[in-house]
C-alpha cells in the first residue's frame, strides 16, 4: 500500500468515526427531548384536570349547593372527579397522544374508579409518604400496566373531614347519592391518601414517537451527513491529487536532473579519460625531450672532443 492510499484510508476512518459519534449524540439528545415532550404532555394533562376539579370544587359546586340545598347532590353539577373524567373523555382520541387520565380510589364511590393493582400500589406508596410527613405527593416513573411498560405520574390526594359525608357511609351521604352508588367499600379515613389523579402513557407509544421522529430526522440527517462527507472526501481527494501532481512533477524534475547529472558525469569521465591520455602523451613527450636533451648533450661532447682533436 502506498503512502497516498494509507493517507486516504486513515482520513476516511477518522471522518467516519467522527460522523458516527455525532449521529449517536444527536440521536440520544433527540430521544431525550421527545421523552421530555411526552412527560410535559402528561404533566399538562394532569394539571389541566386538576384545574377542572378545582374550578368545579371552588366555583361551581358552592353555587350549585346554594340552589340545590345541603341534602341534594347533582353529580354532574357538583362532583369534581366526575367533571374531570367527563372533560377528559371529551378530548378526541387523536389528541390524547396515548395519554390517559383517571381518578382512582382504593375505596371508590363509583366502581368505575376502582384502583387497578398498579394504581393501588402507587396510592399506598403516596399514603406512606404522607404519613412520613412529606409534602410532595407526586410520584413519577415507569410501571408495567397489563404487561405493558407505562410512564406514570400519580398525584396523591389527602382525604379531608369535609370529604367524608359523601365518601364514608350510605346513611351520611346526601339523599340523592344513597341509591345511586353501592356504598360497599370500607369508610374513607380523614388524613389518609386513598385516591390519586393518575396519568399514564405506554412507553411503547413514547418510543414509537421517537422512532417516527428519528426516521424523519434520520433521513434528513443522513442526507446532510452524506453531502458533508462527500464534500470532505472531495476536498481530500483534490488535495491528494494536488500532492500527487506535485510529487510527480518533483519526480520528473529529479529524473531530468539525474539524467543531466549522468550526462555531465559521462562527459567528465570522457574528459578524465582524455586528460589521462594527454598526461600519458605529456609523459611520452617528456621522455622524448629528455632523450633528445641527452642526445644533444652527447653530440655536444662529441663535437667538443672533435674540436680538441683538430686543435692538437
Ligand atoms: C357532597 C358529596 C361529595 C363530597 C363532599 C366529596 N365528594 Fe368525592 N365524589 C362524590 C361523588 C358523587 C363521586 C362519584 C362521581 C362519579 O360517579 O364519577 C365522587 C368521587 C370522587 C372521586 C373518584 C373516586 C370515587 O370515589 O369514585 C374522588 C377521587 C373524590 N370523589 C375525591 C373527593 C375528595 C378528596 C373530597 C374531599 C375534599 C370529596 N371527594 C368530597 C361526592 C362527593
Indicate if ligand 1 lies below 6 Å from the C-beta of 109: yes
The 10s digit of each residue's pLDDT in 204-221 is 887 887 788 777 766 676
Q: Cα dist. 229→3, 17, 114, 226 in Å?
A: 22, 12, 58, 5
- pLDDT for residue 307: 73
Residues whose CB falls within 8 Å of the CB of residue 107, separated by 6 or more in sequence, listed in order: 167, 185, 186, 187, 188, 194
- pLDDT for residue 311: 47
Q: Which residues of the chain have pLDDT under 70?
A: 1, 217-219, 221-222, 225-226, 229, 232-233, 236-237, 240, 243-244, 247, 251, 264-265, 267-268, 270-272, 274-279, 281-282, 285, 288-289, 296, 309-312
- pLDDT for residue 108: 98
- pLDDT for residue 312: 47
Report how far residue 168's alpha carbon sits from residue 164's, in angstroms, rounded to the nearest whole number: 5
Ligand 1 pocket, mutate which of 115, 163, 191 (most atoms under 8 A from CB): 163
Report how far residue 171's alpha carbon sits from residue 138's, in angstroms, rounded to the nearest whole number: 33
Nearest atom of ligand 1 to the alpha carbon of 73: 1
Report the nearest-CA residue for atom 36 of ligand 1. 163
Residue with cell 397489563: 146
How distant is the alpha carbon of residue 231 from its chain centre?
A: 23
Report how far residue 55's alpha carbon sits from residue 49's, in angstroms, rounded to the nearest whole number: 10
Question: Of 156, 146, 154, 155, whose CA–CA distance to 202 is shortest?
Answer: 146
* Contact between residue 8 and residue 236 where contact means Cβ atoms under 8 Å apart: yes
Indicate if ligand 1 lies below 6 Å from the C-beta of 160: yes
Question: Of 94, 96, 114, whose CA–CA distance to 104 is shortest?
Answer: 114
Report how far residue 37's alpha carbon sits from residue 47's, in angstroms, rounded to the nearest whole number: 15
Question: Of 197, 93, 191, whose CA–CA distance to 153 is shortest?
Answer: 197
Nearest atom of ligand 1 to the alpha carbon of 111: 27
The x, y and z cell numbers of residue 192, run together, are: 389518609
Nearest atom of ligand 1 to the alpha carbon of 197: 29
Question: Of 11, 1, 2, whose CA–CA distance to 239 is shortest?
Answer: 11
- pLDDT for residue 115: 98
Residues whose CB falls within 8 Å of the CB of residue 42, separated by 6 or more in sequence, listed in order: 99, 151, 153, 199, 201
Amino acid at each position: 500500500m502506498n503512502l497516498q492510499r494509507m493517507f486516504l484510508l486513515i482520513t476516511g476512518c477518522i471522518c467516519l468515526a467522527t460522523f458516527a459519534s455525532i449521529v449517536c449524540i444527536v440521536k440520544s439528545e433527540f430521544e431525550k427531548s421527545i421523552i421530555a415532550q411526552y412527560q410535559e404532555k402528561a404533566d399538562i394533562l394532569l394539571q389541566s384536570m386538576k384545574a377542572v376539579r378545582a374550578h368545579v370544587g371552588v366555583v361551581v359546586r358552592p353555587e350549585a349547593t346554594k340552589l340545590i340545598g345541603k341534602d341534594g347532590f347533582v353529580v354532574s353539577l357538583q362532583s369534581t372527579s366526575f367533571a374531570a373524567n367527563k372533560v377528559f373523555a371529551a378530548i378526541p382520541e387523536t389528541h390524547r397522544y396515548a395519554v390517559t387520565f383517571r381518578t382512582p380510589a382504593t375505596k371508590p364511590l363509583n366502581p368505575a374508579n376502582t384502583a387497578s393493582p398498579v394504581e393501588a400500589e402507587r396510592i399506598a406508596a403516596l399514603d406512606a409518604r404522607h404519613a412520613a410527613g412529606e409534602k410532595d405527593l407526586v410520584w413519577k416513573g415507569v410501571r408495567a400496566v397489563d404487561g405493558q411498560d407505562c410512564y406514570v405520574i400519580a398525584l396523591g390526594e389527602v382525604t379531608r373531614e369535609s370529604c367524608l359525608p359523601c365518601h364514608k357511609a350510605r346513611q351520611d351521604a346526601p339523599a340523592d347519592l344513597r341509591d345511586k352508588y353501592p356504598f360497599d367499600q370500607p369508610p374513607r379515613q380523614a388524613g389518609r391518601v386513598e385516591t390519586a389523579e393518575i396519568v399514564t402513557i405506554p412507553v411503547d407509544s413514547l418510543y414509537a414517537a421517537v422512532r417516527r421522529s428519528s426516521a424523519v430526522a434520520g433521513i434528513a440527517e443522513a442526507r446532510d451527513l452524506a453531502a458533508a462527507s462527500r464534500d470532505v472526501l472531495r476536498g481530500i481527494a483534490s488535495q491528494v491529487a494536488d500532492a500527487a501532481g506535485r510529487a510527480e512533477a518533483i519526480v520528473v524534475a529529479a529524473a531530468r536532473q539525474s539524467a543531466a547529472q549522468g550526462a555531465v558525469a559521462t562527459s567528465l569521465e570522457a574528459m578524465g579519460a582524455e586528460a589521462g591520455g594527454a598526461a600519458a602523451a605529456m609523459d611520452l613527450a617528456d621522455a622524448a625531450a629528455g632523450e633528445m636533451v641527452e642526445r644533444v648533450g652527447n653530440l655536444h661532447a662529441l663535437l667538443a672532443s672533435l674540436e680538441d682533436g683538430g686543435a692538437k
